[in-house]
């Protein structure tokens, strides 16, 4: 009598098998897992950096060709903002505060992680005094600062035309070339009338027009009569049609006060 075999019991199978997933799903799952790990790390890092006691700024490096700015004064301003870390540093407010300092033209901040702050300072470079209260830099910009004992020329116009006045100063010096004279002031009043002052000498009223022609006429008069007497001249007025007037401290014998005719512009 033949005995029937009983079928082997089926093994229980899991309801989920990774091998059964499409490859693109496996890749997607891997990417999602990595993203979650990265996000977790970022959040943990932010949590750490949001505490100003973690990784505090320990090194401040002030850079720049500084002649008028004192390092200790800069650091006093900077240290008000650096009792924290680079992440929490209010860089914009620090830049604004530093740029209000008299001799600072601009500031650039660089964060060198994890604990170093680099402060790059561009200092003002004075080119001339602007009137009695301000200074003009090499870009024709005006600023207010103390500069005692300096021997800079003085420029001024009521419209704050810094670059234009600087160019005029260069031009007038060119017109005076060949004379043993140094221009120390060049100003313009509200009517547009020019006035210059010679270093160690008198002021010269130039007027509103024919500036080059009038200075050429002054050069001729200087070479003929004034070269040896300039120290006795208080003022020279070039605002005449065919000459100029000289105001003496003490009128030398044999010299006229005025070399001009019809008056002036």
How much of the chain, in percent, has pLDDT values that exceed 90? 69
Higher pLDDT, 25 or 227: 227
Residue 244's closest CA among 219, 118, 253, 124?
A: 219
Pull the structure tokens for residue 137.
């830099």
Give me the pLDDT at residue 156, please: 97
For residue 134, the cross-strand partners are 130
Distance CA 54, CA 56 (A): 6
Model pLDDT, residue 222: 94
Q: What is the rounded CA–CA span in Å between residue 117 and residue 134? A: 32
**According to the model, what pLDDT value does residue 101 have?**
95
Interatomic CA distance for residues 127 and 151, integer angstroms = 10
- pLDDT tens figures, 155-182: 999 999 999 999 999 999 999 999 999 9
- CA-to-CA distance for 165 and 171, rounded, in angstroms? 10
131: tokens are: 């009137």
Q: What percent of the chain has pLDDT over 70?
A: 76
**Structure confidence by residue, pLDDT tens digits, 139-157:** 999 999 999 888 999 999 9
Position 236 confidence tier, pLDDT thresholds 50, 70, 90: very high
* 32 preceded by a cis bond (ω within 30 of 0): no
User: CA 195, CA 211: separation in Å to the nearest integer?
Assistant: 10
Residue 21 has pLDDT above 80, yes or no: no
124-130 average pLDDT score: 96
Q: How many CB atoms lie within 10 A of CB 42?
A: 10
Residue 241 confidence (pLDDT) above 70: yes
pLDDT tens-place string over residues 31-85: 666 666 666 555 545 666 678 788 899 999 999 999 999 999 999 999 999 999 9
pLDDT band at residue 25, thresholds of 50, 70 and 90?
low
pLDDT level of residue 18 (50, 70, 90 thresholds): low
Mean pLDDT for 243-247 is: 94
- In angstroms, the CA 53 to CA 191 distance is 62
| Cα gap 95→118, rounded to integer Å | 12
């Amino acid at each position: 009598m033949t005995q029937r075999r009983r079928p082997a019991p089926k093994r229980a199978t899991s309801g989920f098998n990774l091998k059964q997933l499409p490859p693109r799903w496996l890749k997607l799952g891997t990417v999602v897992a990595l993203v979650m790990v990265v996000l977790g790390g970022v959040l943990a890092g932010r949590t750490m950096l949001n505490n100003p006691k973690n990784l505090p700024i320990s090194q401040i490096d002030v850079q720049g060709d500084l002649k008028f700015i004192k390092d200790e004064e800069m650091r006093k301003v900077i240290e008000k903002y650096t009792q924290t870390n680079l992440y929490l540093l209010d860089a914009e407010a620090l830049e604004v505060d530093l740029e209000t300092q008299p001799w600072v033209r601009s500031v650039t901040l660089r964060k060198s992680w994890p604990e170093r702050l680099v402060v790059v300072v561009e200092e003002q470079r004075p080119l001339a005094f602007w009137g009695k209260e301000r200074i003009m830099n090499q870009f024709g910009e005006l600023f207010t600062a103390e500069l005692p004992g300096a021997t800079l020329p003085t420029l001024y116009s009521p419209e704050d035309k810094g670059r234009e006045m600087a160019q005029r100063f260069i031009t007038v010096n060119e017109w005076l070339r060949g004379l043993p004279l140094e221009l120390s002031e060049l100003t313009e009043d509200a009517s547009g009338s020019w006035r210059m002052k010679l270093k160690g000498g008198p002021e010269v009223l130039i007027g509103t027009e024919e500036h080059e022609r009038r200075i050429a006429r002054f050069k001729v008069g200087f070479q003929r009569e004034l070269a040896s007497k300039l120290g006795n001249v208080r003022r020279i007025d070039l605002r005449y049609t065919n000459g100029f007037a000289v105001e003496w401290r003490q009128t030398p014998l044999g010299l006229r006060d005025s070399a001009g005719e019809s008056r002036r512009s």
